[in-house]
Every structure is written in C-alpha cells, then in structure tokens.
Amino acid sequence: MQALLLWGMLLVPMAAGGACLLIPSARRVLDVAAAGVIASSALCAGAAAFVFARGPIFSAGGWLFLDALSAYHMLVMALVFSLSGLYARGYFAHELDAGELAPAQARQFGALFCTSLASMVLVLVSNNLGVMWIGIEATTLLTAFLICVHVTPTSLEAMWKYLLVCSVGVAFAFLGTLLTGASAHRLHLSTSDALLWTRLRAEASVLDPLSIKAAFIFVLVGYGTKAGLAPMHTWLPDAHSQAPAPVSAIFSGFMLNAALYCVLRYLPLVEGATGSPSFCLDLLAAFGLVSIVVSAAFIVFQHDVKRLLAYHSVEHLGIVTLGFGLGGVGTFAALFHTLNHSVCKTLAFFCAGRLGQRHGTHDMEALSGTLRTAPPWGGALFGSLLALIGVAPFALFMSELQILRAAVDGRSFWTLGIFLAGGTIIFLGALRHAVAMAWGEPHAAPAPDHPGALDRFLAWGPLALLLVLGVWMPPPLGDALRQAAMVLGGGP
C-alpha cells in the first residue's frame, strides 16, 4: 500500500505531463496540468502524513524510501506546486486572451511543468545517492525550456546560462557521489546496496574519513550551484527573472531547496565518518554567510522586481544554509525557514508576474503606486516583501530569530555580526524599493482588471498562512519539524 503510494507520486505527474502533450485546446492543457499537479501533491501530502505518524516507508528493494526529512520537504513541494499550478491556469489564461501564447507553447509548458514535479519527487524518494543525482540533473534539463516558454533573446540567454552552469556544477556533485561510493570500500557492499543512503548511514563510522570529506566538498559545490549559493549563483537572477512567473515560483519555492536537501543527506555520513559535525557545519555556515553578503550588495541596486526577488532567494537560501551550519536549534529553525521562504517567495512571484503582465514590464519604476492601482496583487507584493525582509510578526521573522538564537547559543559572534549587518542592508535596501512600489506616484495606469475569487485567494491565502505561522506553531507541524531535524542530528 505505502509502496504503491511512492510509485503513484512518481507516475501520476508523468502521466499528467504526457496527457498535456495530447490535448489540442490550450485551456484544457492548463486545466489538466493544474489537476495533475494537485492530484500528485495530494498523494505526496498523504505519504508525508503517513511517515510522520508511522515512520519511514521503503519500496523497490530499498531503492525508494521516504523518511521524516524527505517527507517534510515533500510537504513544502506539494504546497508550492499546487499553488503554482492553480496560478499558472489564470496567468496563462490572460496571455491566451491577449493572443500571446500559442497552443503548442501551452502544451510544452504543461508537459514540462508536470514532469519536473516528477523529477523533484524522484530526488526526494530515492535512497540511492546516484539516483538522487539523476533526479537533480533531470530537473535542470526539464525546466530549461520552461524558462523560454516565450522565445526571446534574453530568455534564451538565461536558459543557456542556466543549462550550462547547472549541468557543469551538478557534474561536480556526481564526482562527490562517486567519492562517497569509494569511501565505503571497507563495507564491501553488493552492487544493489552500494550508494544506498540508509546503508551508508547505518555504518557511517566505517567510511574512509578523508574520501568522504573530499566528497562533501564536491557535493556542496555541485548541489550548491543548483541551490543558488553564492558565489555559484550566477545563473539564478537571469533564470528567475526571465522565466514566466509560475516557473519562477517553483524555481525559487522548491527547486533550490531540493538541491540543498541533497547536500543535507551527506551531513550524517560525514559526521559519522569523522566523528564530529564541525567540518560540514563550518563549510555550510561560510557559504550561507557569503550568500547573505553577496545578495545584500545586489539587492540595493536592483531595478527589476523579479531580479530583486531572485536575489532575495540567494539571501534566504543563504539564511537556511547558515541555520543548518549552526546546528542544534539552527537545524530546526532552518527547516522552518525553508517552508516560510517557499510560501512567501511563491506569493511574491505570483504578484510580480501579474503586475508585470498588466504593465508590460518588471521595472520597479514603472510599477510604482501599485498598492492603489492594482489590488490585490500590489498589496500582496508589498506584504510579501515586508515578510521577506523579516518584519514581525510574519513567520520568516520568527525563524530568523531562532537562527540568531542558535548563533548566540553557539557563541559564534562573528557569524551573528555578519548576518545582522547583511540583514540590515537588505532590510533598508528592499524597504526603499517596496515603499516606492506601493506608494509612489502611479505612471500610466492600465485598465483595472477584475480579480476573481481564486486570484484573491492566491494573493491573500499565503500571506495569511505566514501570519498564522508567525504567531502560532500548529503542533503537527512542530512535530514534523522535530522529526526532520532529528534525521540530521539536530533539534531543540
């Protein structure tokens, strides 16, 4: 039964993607894509709930499995994808009305959107580190053409950079995977057991410490490229700004986290082999801090709202990585921040996308005054930017506060100082942009559109969720977070 669930999560989105290719009507394609994504998300949520209640699920001779860490990420993925699927239906319907989207483009979008969900499920459910890598590389290849649903010189440029930087980057991660396999030579694993995470985890103390350390460096640089950690983030602002908004939402909302999740899988292995967690954690904290500082420098000078959001992704992935690097409470807080950032950034890209469609540009100068001229999207964009820069009582503020606490607990005051300095620059820089967009003098105001009930739900729902999570942690979520943190050996 549970095994069927694992296979269902992989096969349903693939079937939906295939179906999208066969449907002639563009509107039906978008309906099928949304329905397929929501159905798969429901399966994912069901499987995750099962794991939290009863423990890990295995299938296919141990090659597929789901434990608390992957189940938690699966919940985040399900949320981001179902929101984006719903939003894409409305977003592309506007383009169909304006005659800017051909049926072939809609079919391409539907098929790739659904199959990229399948590839991310593959990343989360594979126990074999090699298959996990295959899943990450598959996400790169499947999402590349999602960036240029509309073929323009800039979208092609973004797509080429994304394809090449991420493929080459992820190749480093495969080198790390091979070194991990080589470090287990004393275990004499059979062919089908080699590279199985559960096997390596159980006997981590026998792994060769030097090889596994080298492996971790390659893995961190490789998957870190895909996760958008500075200084390997160069593809990210281009890809996020050129892709259509629903695609930017899944990039920022989950694809980056999927890559970081792969790095996390290696933490217990290295810790077991070297006997101390400090090697990995120091590296993670360093990459996290560099990402925060680099993004702070770029956020201040942005003109394009989607690029601004893209640099916020670098910042928040940096904060999450820093949280993991601090360990202890930090691990718990970083996992919580993952959910908060994904929800918030998905919403922010929804708003930026619809505003961009109305105004025909993503330039922040042109979008000024949108709080009055374009409710609900202008209001929700302002709200989400406030949440992103860490204004209380949104949930992002709470998780960042916990990460700060972890830094204080660990007596890492330099880390604390750099994090606070970066956060302050970002706060001031982004607040200036947000206020100008909300209350600035409106330029040529396009005809007001009439947002439906679904639009209002997509704009205010995520913001309400962030507010609720900021003041009250539902016990099942707290329990899920603790279980996931335990897999990594952290937690309050």
Question: Which is nearest to 286 in space by CA: 236, 237, 234, 221?
Answer: 221
- For residue 85, CA distances in Å to 39, 89, 109, 447, 480 come to 11, 7, 11, 26, 25
Identity of the residue, 163 or 416, whose beta carbon is nearer to other proteins in the bound complex: 163
Burial of 450 (0-12, 13-18, 19+ CB in 10 A): exposed
Contacts of residue 412, defined as CB under 8 A and 6 or more positions apart, other chains included, come to: 285, 326
Min dist. Cβ of residue 28 to other proteins (A) = 26
- For residue 412, CA distances in Å to 208, 294, 301, 424 come to 30, 20, 30, 18
Min dist. Cβ of residue 130 to other proteins (A) = 4
Identity of the residue, 37 or 207, whose beta carbon is nearer to other proteins in the bound complex: 207
Min dist. Cβ of residue 194 to other proteins (A) = 5
Identity of the residue, 221 or 387, whose beta carbon is nearer to other proteins in the bound complex: 221
The DSSP string of 247-278 is HHHHIIIIIHHHHHHHHHHHHHHHHHHHS-SH
Min dist. Cβ of residue 270 to other proteins (A) = 15
* Residue 362 identity: H
Identity of the residue, 11 or 189, whose beta carbon is nearer to other proteins in the bound complex: 189
The footprint of other proteins (CB under 8 A) covers 128, 130-131, 133-134, 137-138, 141, 144-145, 148, 151-154, 156-161, 163-164, 167-168, 171, 174-175, 178-179, 181-182, 185, 189-192, 194-195, 208, 210-211, 214, 237-238, 241-242, 298, 301-302, 307
Min dist. Cβ of residue 171 to other proteins (A) = 6
Min dist. Cβ of residue 267 to other proteins (A) = 21
Identity of the residue, 17 or 330, whose beta carbon is nearer to other proteins in the bound complex: 17
CA distance linking residue 302 with residue 407, whole number of Å: 30
Identity of the residue, 14 or 34, whose beta carbon is nearer to other proteins in the bound complex: 14
69 half-sphere exposure, CB direction, 13 A CA radius: 28
Identity of the residue, 312 or 337, whose beta carbon is nearer to other proteins in the bound complex: 312
Min dist. Cβ of residue 65 to other proteins (A) = 16
C-beta neighbour count of 78 within 10 angstroms: 25
The DSSP string of 13-36 is HHHHHHHHHH---HHHHHHHHHHH
Min dist. Cβ of residue 146 to other proteins (A) = 12
Min dist. Cβ of residue 64 to other proteins (A) = 13
CA distance linking residue 390 with residue 470, whole number of Å: 11
SS3 233: coil
Torsion 488-347-256-197 (CA) sign: positive
Min dist. Cβ of residue 273 to other proteins (A) = 12
CA distance linking residue 399 with residue 377, whole number of Å: 25
Can you read off the two tokens belonging to residue 382?
Answer: 């302002």
| % helix, strand, coil for the chain, step of 5 | 80, 0, 20
Identity of the residue, 190 or 276, whose beta carbon is nearer to other proteins in the bound complex: 190
Identity of the residue, 31 or 157, whose beta carbon is nearer to other proteins in the bound complex: 157
Identity of the residue, 38 or 134, whose beta carbon is nearer to other proteins in the bound complex: 134
